[in-house]
């Protein structure tokens, strides 16, 4: 169970290793606020969808399992979207249509089909949390690099009060050397490519260590 949780961060990271959920990851990772907000929403939907589908897995006929999964996921996304709209309107506006598109996020449907439909509730819950945090981790890495290079600093505001800055720093010496390109699509793809290469290298090294350990 612990291995399922750890896999979501490096070995099976949804964004950098499995290349799932990339549309939202690249589109909304312009700031740390957007990254954490979207990450929390996806993690909640992953957790509850995995648990519900795991509970229902023996009751759902194979012929209609995908439509049932989509109905469950869509219902959860609607609830999360309404809560964000009500209590964090600034975050709701920043995420825009991508919050609604969590319904068709490949990570959520993929984990429902590949894991929750075949495993117990506890294991499915751990898998959902691990994958959700792995997705959030990927978004934070991309957004931190993009925001820093584009603005010369990083800021995180209270999602319930956008005027209250919870964490932030800026380097005045870099103000004249920022790269506005990093806040656009090109910056998103460049940042993603660098991290994807890094994670591929880490996976390869981990695989080599496992082979060496088995030989011993």
| 177 pLDDT above the threshold of 80 | yes
**Spatial contact of 44 and 166, defined as CB atoms under 8 Å apart:** no
Rounded Cα distance between 20 and 107, Å, is 6
Could you give the percent of the chain with pLDDT greater than 90?
A: 61
Question: Stretch 169-194: mean pLDDT, rounded?
Answer: 89
Is 55:121 a contact under the CB 8 Å cutoff?
Answer: yes
Backbone angles phi and psi of 184, in degrees to 5 = -105, -175
Structure tokens at 145: 């690099």
Give pLDDT tens digits for 12-61: 899 998 898 888 889 999 999 999 999 999 999 999 999 999 999 999 99
Confidence of residue 101 (pLDDT cuts 50, 70, 90): confident
pLDDT, tens digit, for every residue of 147-170? Answer: 999 999 998 988 877 788 888 888
**What percentage of the chain exceeds 70 in pLDDT?**
99
Residues 195, 200, 205, 207, CA torsion sign? positive
- Single pTM value for the model: 0.91
Digit-coded pLDDT (tens) for 195-214:
999 999 988 888 888 888 88
Task: Supply 78's token pair.
Answer: 């609607």
Q: What is the pLDDT of residue 104?
A: 80
Q: How far is residue 137's CA from residue 36's CA, in Å, rounded to a whole number? A: 9
> Residue ranges of the alpha helices (H) in the chain?
2-7, 22-28, 32-56, 65-87, 89-95, 97-100, 106-111, 121-151, 185-215
Per-residue model confidence as pLDDT tens digits over 134-146: 999 999 999 999 9
């Amino acid at each position: 169970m612990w291995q399922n949780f750890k896999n979501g961060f490096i070995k099976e990271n949804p964004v950098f290793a499995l290349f799932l959920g990339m549309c939202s990851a690249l589109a909304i990772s312009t700031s740390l606020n957007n990254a954490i907000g979207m990450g929390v929403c996806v993690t909640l939907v992953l957790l509850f969808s995995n648990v519900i589908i795991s509970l229902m897995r023996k009751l759902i006929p194979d012929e209609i399992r995908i439509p049932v999964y989509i109905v469950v996921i869509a219902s959860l996304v609607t609830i999360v979207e309404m809560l964000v709209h009500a209590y964090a309107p600034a975050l709701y506006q920043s995420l825009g249509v991508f919050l609604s598109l969590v319904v068709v996020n490949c990570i959520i449907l993929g984990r429902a089909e590949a894991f929750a439909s075949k495993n117990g509730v506890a294991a499915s819950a751990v898998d959902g949390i691990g994958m959700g945090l792995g997705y959030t981790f990927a978004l934070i890495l991309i957004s931190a690099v993009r925001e820093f290079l584009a603005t010369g600093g990083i800021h995180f505001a209270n999602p319930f009060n956008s005027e209250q800055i919870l964490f932030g720093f800026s380097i005045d010496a870099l103000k004249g050397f920022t790269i506005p390109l990093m806040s656009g699509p090109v910056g998103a793809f460049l940042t993603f490519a660098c991290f994807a290469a890094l994670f591929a290298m880490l996976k390869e090294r981990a695989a080599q260590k496992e082979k060496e350990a088995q030989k011993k």
